[in-house]
Structure 1
């Protein structure tokens, strides 16, 4: 069975509702969706699941615990992660909940498309699932243009482990990818831990913890992967990030030079901005009308009027993210 999954808690409730509604429109109302819990704050999400017959909240505690334990073992091999996290006041493993997306390798779907809560599906995902007929890992992004959020680019291990061609063709953003159940299994991951303990852990980038681990696993294990941003014909490729200001919108879809986006990623935007927006604050967000359309697709009467003065959210707002992210443009 194919399905789509995401990760979140009640803090990203508005974004998850928007994502679910976009999936309903472009993948069909019967497409099964599974939410992996970032933490235990999921009461609103539990209520949401009750109202949607094809939506589930992952509750396999044994699966969650075994992935949590493996992640702890992985980060215990890193030479400087703890110091880096301490420097920013992050206790425990930094953004531990983001690793819960790994539960998809145990999850209910034989093949799955993972989408971050801050994304919207804007076209039929069939090309992604079709690519899984040939590949075990499918992505669609331009993260290879900025490896600094994938690996520690100053580590000498980077050149030892991966060729420039591998990094160019296979590095990816962990906000959107497709794979299959059982591809990775912590109970059979001792070889990975041994590699990391030998010194390879130094290549991991602790500030994007789930992303760096997934990239390491895919390339180090030689997974057969495909990045549609490189594989599709040039005339069919699009960007996907809201940092792209040249996109156009029409009838609640987003286009890149006339080609509809497969998905839109609100990368770098705090979930608090979406909460404020949905509370009626006139917050300045890129492509916010598209977001609001899908957020209130089934209850347009509750859509906030946003009649007040336009609010530019600084310094927590999205503008501070634009400069470093513009290099991810296609």
Structure 2
């Protein structure tokens, strides 16, 4: 059985991708195969980076992506307002359609029989064995706390939602699409066609437009009757940990984070702009949570290039000054 790790990237998230790949190398191992799925055609730096890594490949076959991009277009064409709203915002077609390329991991001709998908803004802290082990008994495994915020997955104002989704599943099987584990062949073409037909019958109104790919994947597991096994709900309290950068209590020891003494499986820098990681990698002294963890893994193999900061750090979420706000308002700054 072939196990592997997928991620999705382009040159915009290059620095985050390097940190992710280095963290996998150190904390999972050099042997596990990793496949980087091209978000779009901006992958020159990505291609050069993975050329030096024996276990890492790049998947940039537009023919493989086409079937999922077509699926995404059909899904959102069924939505009552999505395409019109995005067009008014200057977005042609489906918003962030490249995100849907990750779902080619489910195709029957994909490289890995069982896989873990990780967003590029993740740093792996442990072996991932706990997740692969659960795939022995489950088809779909996650480890996050998104179930506490279903309003970021589905349109909770839709009267159809509780007609289509069991209330208990809504409170226990919601997940973040930044990390999940699954199996090849889980969503065959016939099932995708059936899902689209249900959306076209009016079910599309339950989808959450601001997180299009995440909402759709949750819909696919819910309506496809695929149980979602969430370690955050199943593990004993003395074993589970958090994993989001928004948690401020993690402790760092030897470049690993611990949650009240328990080693994290992964850290997700969710909500932080990719521009932030590019700017700090270019030497701009910006402070953000667990910055040193990112910098350690980003420059693991080239410590001499790690930025050396001499100025006082600027908080990443610092509000702009009044002068800057005024200049922006009148169009003198972007």
- Fold shared by both chains (TM-score > 0.5): yes
**Structure 1 partner of 2:91:** 90
Where 1:155 maps in the other structure, the secondary structure is coil
Residue 314 of structure 1 and its aligned partner are, at CA, apart by 4.6
* TM norm structure 2: 0.92
- What are structure 2's unaligned runs of at least 5 residues? 321-334
Bigger radius of gyration among the two: 2
CA distance in 1, matches of 2:288, 2:189: 39
CA distance in 2, matches of 1:231, 1:140: 9
Measured against aligned partners, the alpha-carbon deviations of 1:156-203 in whole angstroms (never above 9, x if no partner) come to 111111122101221000001000111012354221111101111101
**Structure 2 partner of 1:283:** 286
Measured against aligned partners, the alpha-carbon deviations of 1:218-269 in whole angstroms (never above 9, x if no partner) come to 1111113200000111110111001001111111011111111100000000
Q: 1:260 to 1:314 in 2, by over 3 A?
A: closer
Worse-superposed segment, 11-20 or 244-253:
244-253
Measured against aligned partners, the alpha-carbon deviations of 1:269-301 in whole angstroms (never above 9, x if no partner) come to 000000000001111111000010100111111
Residue 216 of structure 1 and its aligned partner are, at CA, apart by 0.4
Tell me, yes or no, if structure 1 residue 116 matches structure 2 residue 116.
Answer: no
Q: 1:8 to 1:187 in 2, by over 3 A?
A: farther
Residues 67 and 186, structure 1, Cα contact 8 Å, conserved in 2:
no
Residue 61 of structure 1 and its aligned partner are, at CA, apart by 2.4
**Structure 1 partner of 2:324:** none
**Structure 1 partner of 2:260:** 257
Measured against aligned partners, the alpha-carbon deviations of 1:289-321 in whole angstroms (never above 9, x if no partner) come to 00101001111111010222212235799xxxx
CA distance in 1, matches of 2:319, 2:100: 24
RMSD: 1.4
CA distance in 1, matches of 2:215, 2:136: 25
Q: 1:315 to 1:160 in 2, by over 3 A?
A: farther
- The runs of at least 4 aligned residues of structure 1 exceeding 3 Å deviation read 86-89, 313-317
Specify which of 241, 263, 273 is matched with residue 244 of structure 2: 241
Residues 270 and 316, structure 1, Cα contact 8 Å, conserved in 2:
no
CA distance in 1, matches of 2:155, 2:90: 20
**Structure 1 partner of 2:168:** 165
CA distance in 1, matches of 2:291, 2:87: 35
